[in-house]
Structure 1
């Protein structure tokens, strides 16, 4: 496991925190009570005793914690920490007290319990705050990594949308060009408009709902050119306000999937119904229904890139605020998506 180097600002903040923490703990060490009154008694020996605690805290906090406790070497950490405390007690009893109190506690080992109580209380406070600091730092790093992972995955998923859409429509465009269909220029113009939206207006995490609906209408019209005279497409909207925002290119995946299934299974009587509505609380309800022939039912159950892609994007962009229901039957494919939208 590689150690993580602190950034300069982070290291500076930590050392400032340690200085303030040590001053605060030292403040409590020099506090005393006499006759019910709180008094402060500051002597040189108190500073010497506290310096003895400081080296032990720095050793435990910056050597034993990262090398043993955080690497789950609990037994070794416990033994080394115990040894460190013993050394602190020995220095205090046989060195410092011999210097500052040669005729009192330093004369024998009777004050060891008092020394141990003070040593443990100080070290527990100092080391405990260091553990808490590290926990907060690790949580911040985890949050940053989650955000980076989410952005990376969304970037990857979004990069799959354009090639997937482009691949399907270039095949259609090629067929129209080979047949020298008069619809070819209109198809190229529609494709250009849809791609312009994908490339230039979808760079933000969310877009105005009205723009997404306009794109969806262009998207439907683009596909409708391909089934003209072979079926009907109905598109309904209700309460579409510009103040609501939505992640781009979510709804068009379901529409594309519906057209693909219907066209692949039958050459006529294609029926698609798409509706988008928003209630007063900002809950968007999107439904898409398409028909197909019964013999194509097995193939419709196969999961393509588009549907799996949009499911992952929904889980990343709208965790716990969306509901996706897909109901395939032998002759129809029905999708109902609900998303709680936010306003600008």
Structure 2
């Protein structure tokens, strides 16, 4: 047995468990007190339980070698019975307890509960530890998946905006430098200021406004964009860049098939700890493009919402022949 894998907490737990089991084992209402043989026999049971729990269980039971584990456990059990019988003949010669057949019967029901309790609690301890390891691994996998989903946002953002920027540069638009400046500010936030999974709500809403300003520059006089911001409680936090995807999607698909009459309405409001986000945009169907609801960004944000806000959000996406609407409610956490 390699004791280096036994934690301090487990040693304390085992010590308390053995003391409690020993007290129950040695208790006799007709003959109160703890005798020398109680200590001796319980020490033998402790050694047997250590062999079973710290050697046989890890080596055979946890590796699914059930037959070998069962056979060796039975051998240990009957070895303890035989050792106890030999000691009984020395300590209690001539008594019923020291007789062979009654003695084995007595020892069987004397030893079985003790070893079962000690081994059972060890098995439960290991099961809890394994569950905690599984939970840590699950959290690690989830965090890795979230980081991967979040990392997709930057290329997605750059791809859409560089295409627009290229068009403005070809046209020699006077707004090109301003667009580049706004893009650099947005990218700075993406790369350096929202590394955490959750960020302050007021900070995210501020950047949301910056995103909208950037996209409005690209629309120019081709339509109108309305952004309504309700009163936000700064004491809450929200997943970073979770709302931007919907706004990016609205601008992208409104511009893809329309050269004028673009209409985009965005509204963010809050009541208690619930944030409500509504984003509507008109669009013209383009046969060469996938339907709006099938974009990479929307698949990404759906997955992030499932991971970050399980049972704490409601997302509705409605698409008609010329309008796309997103309705999202989220239950936010306090900072």
TM over 0.5: yes
Work out which of the residue numbers 267, 291, 303 in structure 1 matches 2:282: 291
SS in 1 for 2:221: coil
Aligned to 1:309: 300
Deviates more, 1:100-109 or 1:136-145: 100-109
Q: CA RMSD in A?
A: 2.1
Work out which of the residue numbers 328, 331, 334 in structure 2 matches 1:340: 331
- CA–CA distance in structure 1, aligned partners of residues 188 and 4 of structure 2: 41
Alignment of 1:239 with 2:231, yes or no, is yes
Aligned to 1:193: 185
Alignment of 1:321-340 (within 5 A): 321-340=312-331
Alignment of 1:129 with 2:121, yes or no, is yes
Aligned to 2:41: 49
Unmatched runs of 5 consecutive residues or more in structure 2? none
User: For residues 132-155 of structure 1, what are the alpha-carbon distances to aligned partners after superposition, in whole Å with 9 as ceiling and x for unaligned?
Assistant: 111121122122222222222222
TM-score when normalising by structure 1: 0.90
TM-score when normalising by structure 2: 0.92
- State the aligned residue count: 333
Alignment of 1:207-246 (within 5 A): 207-246=199-238
Aligned to 1:167: 159
- CA–CA distance in structure 2, aligned partners of residues 295 and 177 of structure 1: 24
SS in 2 for 1:32: coil
Cα distance, 1:130 vs structure 2:
0.3
Aligned to 2:17: 21
- CA–CA distance in structure 2, aligned partners of residues 342 and 66 of structure 1: 42
Cα distance, 1:302 vs structure 2:
6.0
- CA–CA distance in structure 2, aligned partners of residues 272 and 202 of structure 1: 26
Cα distance, 1:7 vs structure 2:
7.0
- CA–CA distance in structure 1, aligned partners of residues 103 and 65 of structure 2: 33
- CA–CA distance in structure 1, aligned partners of residues 303 and 238 of structure 2: 16
Unmatched runs of 5 consecutive residues or more in structure 1? none
User: Structure 1 245/107 Cα, relative in aligned 2: closer, same or farther at 3 Å?
Assistant: closer
Cα distance, 1:256 vs structure 2:
0.3
